[in-house]
């Protein structure tokens, strides 16, 4: 990190103007779409398989991750579009995915790109290589270099430069072969291919490169081109699936055990294919395969299979069916979003219980379940660790019920006020669910219920008397702002009538009309409080039946700000949504798809190391509640467990490098210096605690920088040195 950036952070006297919102909607696809020639590599640092790029009539620039048996979208800029597919390998020494190829645009230049887990970037500082039309790459873990072979030439890349090697022996020039790293032999191995002279034959030979020379290991393997080829490090086997010899496309599996090749007869297998992606996942002990086609041309495959050494199993990525007027809540105890009910296009009510964990849906089948319903409301009671559902059973003659889900089963808890098309939110300060508005009937022409705010404490509903209140309404949205202790209400409508565009807040005692400006009149939107970003986020809705908004707004407690449209349009109206506090993102479900709203540059804080004990315990350094480091904002820190004597100050040391220096030799017994000090700030001891306010300049470059901090407290009675040290604190500023 440049010291200039650190200097700017520490010496800034007043916070710079805050940047505009950087959060955006993203589509969390269940799996990549059908394609051929995807890049497919195992990321041994993050323990996931990465799939990127590919072709299905046009080039893809997307990136996906496969982990724990599920796919998720990796939020990154576009992967490079390479002609004919990339040569790629994961450099585990530098935690970089390396890709080499020629741009799809037809540029004659050979390009090298790297992916750091968040961004693709060109290594334009490298010397330009001669372009190899046919090339493959593998990372040699024993030597820490990427090895690329193509057209009879061998090259190596160490992260700084490409270097050509001149082995005495090489495989014959060929195309459509495959390469991987054999950890058991600590060599890069190459299999198959065909002559690049147009001869209608293919190779079955197996070669290895040890960094000095290529050696022929076996020439009796299955002749293949355009196949899958990986090393199973658990069973010490090379695995081949599919591909073709010249005209015949195969669906068979072969293994090489270090001595000979053998065909594996599996009970099930993927269909015959070429140009699929294949990688070995040592975490699960399985080969993962995706995509391909029966030829290079359509139909393209989008299926995912795993192979455990005995059989192939096709991945089943289930998800709820398309639906409207469902409800979601986030179970913070189990880190799962809960979705219930709704209705499908034929207007059939649904009653399924689904759980979303990260990118994966799981349908639950509890012994007891609420009846099918739609237009119901849900929230999560963090104090009692249950999901609260309030629903209406019936149309003209309605029964109103409250149900609770404890993660294992649903329990009917009693009757409820009119909840259809109401809004509900959890008041975390007082441990209660607050519900307002709604209607007693799904049909038009019936008035909304009333203007009473009600609280559910797990046993009874309590009417909260207020001097003023929003007018009766339905299809409005509510969210609880934890930092300001405010229940925020927006919009809604009178059934069959005019929509509202007003913003109200309930402060625990009374309702207050804040503004009539902002997102404008609408109903059927979703709204949540983003804890990490300290914003109430509103999305979508409609003004009248048949219309629909796809815009997003943020409320900071004083004004609404419209978020600039992103490349992915949000879910729109009549969808279900909740806040995923584990991953710090707004999650929504609509039309069978998962949408997430989050920043691509999240702020983070993480403690490390430990403090040494003084007269009041070991000093503790942390950010204040809702005090994540955002650029253009002020970082609020607190140092606690200091000596209560206010005459003895403390210091905050800030640097760019972590260290671990035992201070016992200078009589600070048991204390460690964890930060290489570059700056320090004097802190006043306020009866055992101190605070620091550090304005963070609105410089986007700071969003990639890591800072480290530690508190040092004067404490004459703690040890002969007369001071103690706190834990360390890492911070990375983010962009809201």
C-alpha 6/C-alpha 690 separation (Å) is 22
Which residues, at least 6 apart from 524, have a Cβ–Cβ distance to it below 8 Å? Answer: 475, 540, 541, 542, 573, 574
Which pLDDT does position 665 carry in this prediction?
Answer: 96
Which pLDDT does position 449 carry in this prediction?
Answer: 67
Q: Is the pLDDT of residue 138 over 50?
A: yes
Q: Which pLDDT tens digit goes with each residue over 140-192?
A: 999 999 999 998 999 999 999 999 999 999 999 999 999 999 999 999 999 99
In contact, 539 and 526? CB cutoff 8 Å: yes
Which pLDDT does position 581 carry in this prediction?
Answer: 93
The single residue listed with the structure tokens 């913070």 is 332
Q: Is the pLDDT of residue 609 over 90?
A: yes
C-alpha 394/C-alpha 26 separation (Å) is 37
Which pLDDT does position 133 carry in this prediction?
Answer: 75
C-alpha 472/C-alpha 284 separation (Å) is 54
Nearest one of 109, 104, 212 to 165, comparing CA atoms: 212
Element (H, E) at 71: strand 70-73
Q: How far apart are the first and last CA of the chain?
A: 21
> Residue 40 forms beta bridges with which residues?
51
C-alpha 219/C-alpha 180 separation (Å) is 17
Percentage of the chain modeled with pLDDT above 90: 69
Cβ–Cβ contacts within 10 Å for residue 196, how many?
16
- Please give the structure tokens belonging to residue 712: 């040092």
C-alpha 247/C-alpha 260 separation (Å) is 25
Q: What is the mean pLDDT of residues 79-87?
A: 75
Which pLDDT does position 18 carry in this prediction?
Answer: 38
The single residue listed with the structure tokens 């650190």 is 6
Which pLDDT does position 395 carry in this prediction?
Answer: 54
Q: Is the pLDDT of residue 279 over 60?
A: yes
Q: Mark 245-274 as b/e (b = at least 16 C-beta within 10 Å).
A: beeebbebbbbbeeeebeebebeebbebbb
Q: What is the mean pLDDT of residues 486-511?
A: 92
Element (H, E) at 3: helix 3-11
Q: Average the pLDDT over each of 28-42, 174-188, 384-398, 521-535 and give the range with the smallest value.
A: 384-398
Measured in whole angstroms, the distance separating CA 691 from the mean position of its chain's CA atoms is: 32
Q: What is the mean pLDDT of residues 573-579?
A: 88
Cβ–Cβ contacts within 10 Å for residue 292, how many?
33
pTM of the model: 0.71
C-alpha 454/C-alpha 649 separation (Å) is 49
In contact, 372 and 378? CB cutoff 8 Å: no
Q: Average the pLDDT over each of 441-455, 543-557, 565-579 and give the range with the smallest value.
A: 441-455
Q: Which pLDDT tens digit goes with each residue over 637-671?
A: 999 999 999 899 999 999 999 999 999 999 999 99
Which pLDDT does position 496 carry in this prediction?
Answer: 64
Angle at 333 between CA 330 and CA 335, to 5 degrees: 55
Q: Is the pLDDT of residue 287 over 90?
A: yes
Q: What is the mean pLDDT of residues 37-57?
A: 93
Nearest one of 582, 577, 30 to 338, comparing CA atoms: 577
Q: Which pLDDT tens digit goes with each residue over 417-446?
A: 877 789 999 999 999 999 999 876 555 445
Q: Which pLDDT tens digit goes with each residue over 557-571?
A: 999 999 977 666 777
Q: Average the pLDDT over each of 127-136, 556-565, 624-633 and give the range with the smallest value.
A: 127-136
- Please give the structure tokens belonging to residue 404: 């609770």
Which pLDDT does position 443 carry in this prediction?
Answer: 52
C-alpha 59/C-alpha 36 separation (Å) is 10
C-alpha 21/C-alpha 562 separation (Å) is 9
Which pLDDT does position 14 carry in this prediction?
Answer: 34
pLDDT band at 73 (very low <50, low <70, confident <90, very high): confident
Which pLDDT does position 234 carry in this prediction?
Answer: 97
Q: Which pLDDT tens digit goes with each residue over 191-205?
A: 999 998 766 789 999
In contact, 432 and 389? CB cutoff 8 Å: no
In contact, 145 and 89? CB cutoff 8 Å: no
In contact, 79 and 119? CB cutoff 8 Å: no
Cβ–Cβ contacts within 10 Å for residue 318, how many?
10
C-alpha 96/C-alpha 116 separation (Å) is 5
Q: What is the mean pLDDT of residues 70-90?
A: 80
Q: Which pLDDT tens digit goes with each residue over 679-709?
A: 899 999 999 999 999 999 988 888 878 999 9
> Residue 653 forms beta bridges with which residues?
680, 710
Q: What is the mean pLDDT of residues 599-619?
A: 94
Q: Is the pLDDT of residue 458 over 60?
A: yes
Q: Is the dihedral of CA 23, 29, 35, 39 positive or negative?
A: positive
Nearest one of 550, 546, 583, 544 to 566, comparing CA atoms: 550
Which pLDDT does position 108 carry in this prediction?
Answer: 61
Measured in whole angstroms, the distance separating CA 19 from the mean position of its chain's CA atoms is: 23
Angle at 253 between CA 252 and CA 257, to 5 degrees: 150
Average pLDDT, the chain: 89
């Amino acid at each position: 990190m440049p010291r200039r950036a650190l200097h700017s952070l520490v010496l800034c006297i007043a916070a710079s103007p805050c940047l505009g919102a950087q959060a955006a909607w993203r589509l969390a696809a269940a799996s990549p779409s059908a394609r051929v020639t995807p890049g497919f590599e195992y990321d041994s640092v993050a323990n996931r398989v990465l799939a990127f790029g590919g072709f299905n009539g046009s080039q893809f620039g997307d990136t996906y991750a496969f982990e724990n048996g599920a796919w998720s979208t990796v939020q990154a800029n576009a992967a490079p579009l390479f002609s004919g597919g990339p040569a790629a390998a994961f450099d585990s020494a530098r935690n970089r995915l390396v890709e080499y190829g020629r741009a799809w645009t037809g540029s004659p230049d050979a390009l090298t790109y790297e992916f750091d887990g968040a961004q693709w970037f060109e290594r334009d500082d490298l010397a330009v290589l001669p372009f190899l039309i046919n090339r493959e790459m593998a990372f040699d873990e024993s030597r820490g270099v990427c090895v690329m072979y193509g057209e009879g030439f061998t090259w190596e890349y160490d992260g700084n430069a490409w270097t050509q090697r001149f082995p005495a022996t090489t495989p014959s020039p060929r195309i459509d072969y495959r390469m991987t790293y054999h950890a058991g032999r600590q060599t890069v191995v190459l299999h198959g291919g065909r002559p690049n002279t147009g001869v209608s034959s293919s190779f079955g030979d197996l070669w290895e490169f040890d960094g000095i020379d290529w050696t022929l290991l076996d020439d009796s393997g299955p002749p293949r081109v355009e196949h899958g080829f990986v090393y199973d490090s658990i069973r010490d086997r090379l695995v081949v699936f599919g591909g073709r010899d010249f005209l015949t496309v195969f669906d068979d599996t072969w293994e090489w055990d270090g001595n000979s090749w053998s065909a594996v007869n599996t009970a099930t297998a993927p269909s015959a294919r070429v140009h699929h992606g294949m990688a070995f996942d040592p975490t699960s002990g399985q080969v993962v395969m995706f995509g391909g086609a029966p030829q290079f041309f359509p139909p393209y495959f989008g299926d995912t299979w795993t192979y455990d050494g005995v059989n192939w199993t096709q991945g089943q990525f289930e998800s709820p069916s398309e639906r409207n007027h469902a409800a979601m809540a986030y179970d913070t105890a189990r880190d799962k979003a809960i979705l219930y009910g709704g209705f499908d296009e034929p207007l059939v009510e649904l009653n399924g219980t689904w759980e979303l964990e990260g990118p994966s849906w799981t349908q639950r089948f509890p012994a007891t379940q609420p009846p099918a319903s739609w237009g119901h409301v849900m929230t999560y009671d963090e104090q009692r660790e249950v999901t609260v559902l309030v629903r209406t059973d019936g149309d003209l003659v309605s029964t109103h019920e409250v149900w609770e889900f404890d993660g294992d089963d649903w329990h009917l808890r009693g009757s409820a006020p009119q909840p259809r098309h109401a809004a509900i939110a959890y008041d975390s300060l007082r441990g209660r669910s607050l519900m307002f508005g709604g209607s007693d009937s799904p049909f038009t022409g019936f008035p909304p219920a009333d203007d009473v705010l009600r609280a559910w404490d797990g046993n009874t509903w309590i009417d909260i008397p207020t001097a003023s209140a929003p007018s009766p309404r339905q299809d409005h949205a509510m969210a609880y702002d934890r930092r300001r202790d405010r229940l925020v209400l927006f919009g809604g409508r009178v059934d069959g009538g005019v929509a509202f565009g007003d913003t109200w807040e309930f402060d625990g005692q009374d309702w207050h009309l804040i503004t009539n400006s902002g997102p404008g009149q609408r109903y059927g939107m979703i709204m949540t409080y983003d804890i990490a970003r300290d914003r109430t986020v509103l999305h979508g809705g409609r003004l009248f039946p048949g219309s629909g908004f796809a815009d997003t707004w943020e409320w900071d407690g004083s004004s609404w700000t419209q978020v600039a449209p992103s490349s992915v349009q949000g879910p729109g109206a009549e969808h279900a949504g909740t806040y995923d506090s584990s991953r710090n993102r707004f999650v929504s479900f609509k039309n069978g798809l998962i949408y997430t709203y989050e920043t691509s540059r999240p702020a983070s804080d993480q403690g490390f190391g430990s403090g040494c004990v003084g007269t009041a315990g070991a000093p503790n350094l942390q950010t204040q509640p809702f005090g994540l480091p955002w650029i253009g904002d002020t970082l609020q820190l607190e140092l606690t467990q200091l000596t209560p004597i206010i005459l003895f100050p403390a210091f905050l040391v800030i640097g760019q490098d972590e260290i671990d220096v035992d201070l016992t030799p200078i009589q600070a017994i048991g204390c460690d210096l964890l930060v290489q000090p570059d700056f320090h700030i004097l802190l006043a001891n306020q009866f055992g605690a101190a605070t620091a306010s550090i304005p963070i300049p609105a410089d986007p470059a700071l969003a990639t920088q890591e800072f480290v901090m530690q508190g040092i407290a004067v404490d004459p009675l703690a040890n002969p040195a007369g001071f103690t040290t706190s834990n360390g604190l890492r911070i990375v500023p983010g962009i809201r």
